[in-house]
């Protein structure tokens, strides 16, 4: 997808046309009162349009300066309640920008489930189900303009010093690097 207008550069968003979602399931009766069921599948999510729009709106080129983060006393600070003059940014304001990584992929979840159900009485059944889901290619944001971190006394990363490119503030890269795991066991009566 390519987006362009007269006031800014052309922005190309990556296509993701290889999402195949196979799914399978089964249900097997062990006897007249109990069953085993299960399934597996791959599922893809949609990417919010806002993620792509920020690459179009935050180019770092006037008038698309992106998020300019300033503190009182710094160039571009506007006190609460005062009007913001977006048409005439102050000289020396450090712009930010964002872009979508060319290898960006839609988020994917691979899911497996297995369950057992047994009739206890004519109107009551007991069941036990296990679900595992792994999410990968999840949307993530990385500031590509921070220096390598140091460590504090507890080993936590601390970012200090000049930005890699001092002509910009945040250089936000929209990527698909995040991952999640989910495991659940459900008992029901």
Cis peptide before 63 (omega within 30 of 0): yes
Count of other CB atoms within 10 angstroms of residue 139: 18
pLDDT score of 185: 98
> pTM score > 0.75 for this model?
no
User: The tokens of 93 are what?
Assistant: 């304001």
**Cβ atoms within 10 A of the Cβ of 16, count?**
15
Q: What is the pLDDT of residue 1?
A: 52
168: its two tokens: 């910009």
Q: Whole-angstrom Cα distance, residue 99 to residue 121? A: 60
Q: In the block, which residue shows the tokens 């005439």? A: 88
pLDDT tens, position by position, for the chain (189 residues)? Answer: 554 454 555 556 667 778 899 999 999 999 999 999 999 999 999 887 777 777 777 777 776 777 776 777 777 777 777 777 777 777 777 888 888 888 889 999 999 999 999 999 989 999 999 999 999 999 998 899 988 888 999 999 888 888 899 888 888 898 999 999 999 999 999
What lies within 8 Å, CB to CB, of 11 at 6+ separation is 2, 3, 4, 52, 55, 56, 59, 99
Distance (Å) of CA 104 to CA 15, 16, 80, 151: 8, 8, 38, 30
In terms of Cα–Cα distance, which of 5, 16, 125, 85 is closest to 53?
5
CB 157 within 8 A of CB 151: yes
Q: How far is CA 146 from CA 142, 161, 172, in A?
A: 9, 9, 10
Q: By the 8 A CB rule, do 135 and 105 touch? A: no
CB 44 within 8 A of CB 2: no
> Which has the closest alpha carbon to 57: 3, 103, 102?
3
> For residue 9, what pLDDT is reported?
53
């Amino acid at each position: 997808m390519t987006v362009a207008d007269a006031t800014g550069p052309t922005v190309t968003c990556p296509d993701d046309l290889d999402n195949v979602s196979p799914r399978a399931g089964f249900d097997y009766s062990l006897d007249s009162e109990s069953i085993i069921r299960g399934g597996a599948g791959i599922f893809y999510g949609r990417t919010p349009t806002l993620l792509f729009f920020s690459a179009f709106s935050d180019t770092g080129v006037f008038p698309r300066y992106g998020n300019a983060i300033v503190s009182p006393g710094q160039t571009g600070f506007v006190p609460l309640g005062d009007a913001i003059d977006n048409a005439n940014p102050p000289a020396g304001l450090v712009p930010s920008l964002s872009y979508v990584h060319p290898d960006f992929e839609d988020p994917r979840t691979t899911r497996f489930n297995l369950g057992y159900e047994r009739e206890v009485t004519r109107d009551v059944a007991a069941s036990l189900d296990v679900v595992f889901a792994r999410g990968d290619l999840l949307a993530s944001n990385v500031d590509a303009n921070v220096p390598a971190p140091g460590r504090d006394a507890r080993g936590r990363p601390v970012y200090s010093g000049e930005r890699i490119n001092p002509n910009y503030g945040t250089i936000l890269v929209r990527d698909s690097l995040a991952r999640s795991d989910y495991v659940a066991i459900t008992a029901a009566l």
